[in-house]
Amino acid sequence: MCGIVGLYLKNKKYNKDLGKFLTGMMNNMSTRGPDSAGFAIYSTERKKKYKYSICYNDNNIKEIKKNLSKEIKDAKIKIISDHFVLETSLKPVKVISIIKSYNNLNLVGYGNSIEIFKQVGNPRDVVNNFSLKNFSGTHAIGHTRMATESAITTDGSHPYSTGEDECLVHNGSLSNHNNLRRTLKKNGIEIKSQNDTEVAAGYISNGLLNKKSLKETLIDGLKDLDGFYTFISGTKNGLAIVRDEIACKPAVVAETNDYVAIASEFQAMAHLPNVNKAKIFEPEPGLVYSWGK
């Protein structure tokens, strides 16, 4: 089943409420996915600074903080539950190799704008653990997972990020992900898990690396990705949604002058301001919708 949500704010006055709104959306989708949850928050881009969202698992975080601060001079570290966000101006190639030199540190995502968190457990607990309600930003994506094709682990949780400031959540399952994984790996895309959605995220990264827009990449995906899906994908510029042509997996969009909310079910957005006056529609099968700057 799984629940997916996305929120793109058009009106800056709601930026401070982004986390609060997304908390309600995730909580209301916990019935669709009680196994694990995750979310990505995009805030205003800081051109020269990179943020790395890292899950530290069972490591001693104090020791890691001390060692990382020695290796990366301008490192700022913010600890949230079993994740920390490392902020530095050091280039990704260098930082990623440093992170890889540590045992059992998982890089969940990185970029100028994105922060990304995911954890096993009921979504209501997960959003509490990460204090999602305190986050502000411009747009966000969330996922509540009912595991079907791979294990209930943090690695198997969404969103998946396989490129700078990119992420993807998915409701559905893909049937040709093994083949695609091999092809993408040959193209140099790093895919860490056995999960089908990570392959789709890799597919998007590959398209963006080849200078295609998110929308163009998702349109290509309609022929290349076999299975059923509703995807919500984010970049630092905005959000996009696409449903496969059979459209078994639900999605509803509510658009007002202030925001665009996307969710698997309307009840996820029933608490948003003036939602009853919003333009509400179901994305058509096989069409890509995107919002952003």
Partner 1 sequence: MIKLNLKKDSLRKVNELLQNLDQKSNDRSFKIINPDGNHAICAGLKEEMDVTIDGHVGYYCAGMNMKADVIVNGNVGTGVAENMMSGSVHVKGNASQSAGATAHGGTLIVDGDTSSRCGISMKGIDIIVKGSVGHMSAFMAQSGNLVICGDAGDALGDSIYEAKIFIKGEPKSLGADCEKKNMNKKDQDLLKSLLKKASIDENQLTHFKMYGSARKLYNFNIDNVSEY
- The yes or no reply on residue 267 touching partner 1 (CB under 8 A) is yes
Closer residue to partner 1 in complex, CB, 116/262: 262
Among the listed ranges 13-21, 74-82, 150-158, 282-290, the one in contact with partner 1 (CB under 8 A) is 282-290
CA distance 234 to 45: 14
Question: Among this protein's residues, is 2 annotated catalytic?
Answer: yes
In the numeric block, the tokens 């411009």 are attached to: 138
Q: Which of 247, 255, 287, 292 binds partner 1 (CB under 8 A)?
A: 247
Closer residue to partner 1 in complex, CB, 76/281: 281
> DSSP of 126-171, one letter per residue?
HHHHTTGGG---SEEEEEEE---SS-SSSTTPSPB--STT-EEEEE
Q: Which of 45, 92, 147, 266 binds partner 1 (CB under 8 A)?
A: 266
Long-range contacts of range 268-277, CB-CB < 8 Å, 24 or more positions apart? 268/3, 268/5, 268/24, 268/25, 268/28, 268/29, 269/5, 269/25, 270/28, 271/21, 271/24, 271/28, 272/21, 272/24, 272/25, 273/14
Q: Which of 265, 273, 287, 292 binds partner 1 (CB under 8 A)?
A: 265
84 - beta bridge partners?
54, 79
Tokens encoding 12:
């800056």
CA angle 184, 204, 260 (to 5 degrees): 165
Q: How many CA atoms lie within 13 A of 56 on its CB side?
A: 19
- The yes or no reply on residue 255 touching partner 1 (CB under 8 A) is no
| Smallest distance from partner 1 to CB 248, Å | 9
Q: Between 199 and 238, how does the x/- string for binding to partner 1 read (CB under 8 A)?
A: ----------------------------------------
| Smallest distance from partner 1 to CB 285, Å | 7
| Smallest distance from partner 1 to CB 253, Å | 12
Q: Which of 26, 140, 204, 269 binds partner 1 (CB under 8 A)?
A: 269
In the numeric block, the tokens 């490392």 are attached to: 86
In the numeric block, the tokens 């050091």 are attached to: 90
Closer residue to partner 1 in complex, CB, 164/244: 244
- The yes or no reply on residue 268 touching partner 1 (CB under 8 A) is yes
CB 254 within 8 A of CB 269: yes
- The yes or no reply on residue 281 touching partner 1 (CB under 8 A) is yes
Among the listed ranges 66-74, 193-201, 231-239, 276-284, the one in contact with partner 1 (CB under 8 A) is 276-284
CA distance 130 to 146: 20
| Smallest distance from partner 1 to CB 174, Å | 21
Radius of gyration of the chain (CA): 18
| Smallest distance from partner 1 to CB 142, Å | 17
Measured in whole angstroms, how far is the alpha carbon of residue 279 from the centre of its chain?
25
Closer residue to partner 1 in complex, CB, 147/252: 252
Positions marked active-site: 2
In the complex, the residues that contact partner 1 under the rule CB under 8 A are 247, 250, 252, 265-271, 276, 280-282, 284-285
